[in-house]
Amino acid sequence: MRRYALIAVACAALAACSSPETEVGETADAPAALPPGRDAIYEAARVGPEEFVRAVYAAHAAGAMGEPPKPGQEPIYGRMLNAMIGEDFRRAGDDVPTLNWDPICDCQDGEGFRLESVTVRESSATEAEADVVFVNSGETHRQTLKLVKEGPMWRISDFLVPGRPPLSDTLMAAIS
């Protein structure tokens, strides 16, 4: 029995020392090729800010976001944004909450939605901004996503749309 254990350890050691040039497949940093949707978003969120944003918009374009979680519990949003969204919905009660649109498409309903471009600027290892250009219902839209890395995953911490206050400011005014 010890002999088999020793052989297994030796094989594992040899495998760990193998040359990377002989290995086939994706690098450890690249997300697996998953169809657009929440699983692809969560995987891309561990890779980098640009991959995360592209996965979010790919899922949205494919109509693959699925059933949204309860307000304030969206895994693609940062803790602070989720807290404000949750409080906005709690305070609204039976009334319409302040956030009554989808901030990803900046719309009520997406039609003919497609991502045109993403430009990411990382300001630190845990903060970045993504300038996004997309088309929805035949109109070109621009917005900036503020991103934060919480634990191992990138998340959206705010939405900045030209000509309007940041979503966080709008929500804070509603819940203050």
Predicted TM-score (pTM) of this structure: 0.80
**Residue-level pLDDT, tens digit, the chain, 176 residues:** 443 333 333 333 333 333 333 333 333 344 557 899 999 999 999 999 999 999 999 999 999 998 889 999 999 999 999 999 999 999 999 999 999 999 999 998 778 899 999 999 999 999 999 999 999 999 999 999 999 999 999 999 999 999 999 999 999 999 99
115-to-38, 139, 141, 157 alpha-carbon distances in Å:
17, 12, 10, 20
Q: For the chain, which residues make up each domain, given as ranges? A: 33-175
Report the top-level CATH class of 33-175.
alpha beta
- Give the C-alpha separation, 176 to 155, whole Å: 24
